Amino acid sequence: MSPVPAGPSSSLPAVTVALVSDTFSPGTIFSDEHPEGPQFSSPRTATGRERWSFVTFADGSGGELDYDVPLNGEFSDLTAQFEFHWRAPRTLAVRLHDLHVM
């Protein structure tokens, strides 16, 4: 299955697109429901329940965000984990730590 990224996702690194495509490969429930493959969607127009959680690091150095990624127009089981680290006053570094299915 070859995903067809739409909109902002077209700028995603190839490794990210390949990871998502492999996660929802043929034979999965997702691929049965979406034979066109996974396509990243805007959270503004996605249907379903938007789920996220944010935890602040105890030492105050930043935090971690878990966010359910919208695919094919609806929020999915694919979770993106981001880390935020303060680098200077009013300056945060953001890192995509992991993508996985919860």
DSSP letters spanning 76-102: EEEEEEEEEEEEETTEEEEEEEEEEE-
Task: Determine the average pLDDT of the residues in 12-37.
Answer: 85
The 3-state DSSP class for residue 26 equals coil
Residue 54 parent element (H or E): strand 52-56
Q: pLDDT-based confidence at 74, cuts 50/70/90? A: very high
pLDDT at 10 over 90: no
Q: Which residues pair with 82 in a beta bridge?
A: 65, 96
CA dihedral 33, 36, 40, 46 (to 10 degrees): -50
